[in-house]
Amino acid sequence: MHTLRTEEIAAKALKRVQDDRYLLASLIFERVKELSEGAKPLVAMDIKTHKLPDIAMREIAEGKIELTSIEDRT
């Protein structure tokens, strides 16, 4: 994915969850938990230089993380 502004990434991520802001927030929260516990990012972003919520939102925007992938792990 080429360089996108944060607003563009958020809009793409929101589209992936049918504009459900609560669902998007829940997905980001769960993915941040996974990343903080050692999960590897599914996008080319360094965990040391990028904030975990930014990584999670990019993963959702790119279709790497979906509700079912989070539900399967709980």
What are the distances in angstroms from CA 15 to CA 19, 40, 62, 72?
5, 24, 11, 22
Flag whether 68 is in a domain: no
Of 5, 22, 21, 19, whose CA–CA distance to 58 is shortest?
5
Of 56, 9, 6, whose CA–CA distance to 31 is shortest?
56
Flag whether 13 is in a domain: yes
User: What's the domain count of the chain?
Assistant: 1
Average pLDDT over residues 62-72: 76
Average pLDDT over residues 8-33: 95
Give the span between the Cα atoms of 44 and 72, in whole angstroms.
23
Flag whether 27 is in a domain: yes
pTM here is: 0.84
Flag whether 14 is in a domain: yes
Domain that holds residue 19: 6-63
Flag whether 70 is in a domain: no
The pLDDT value given to residue 1? 43
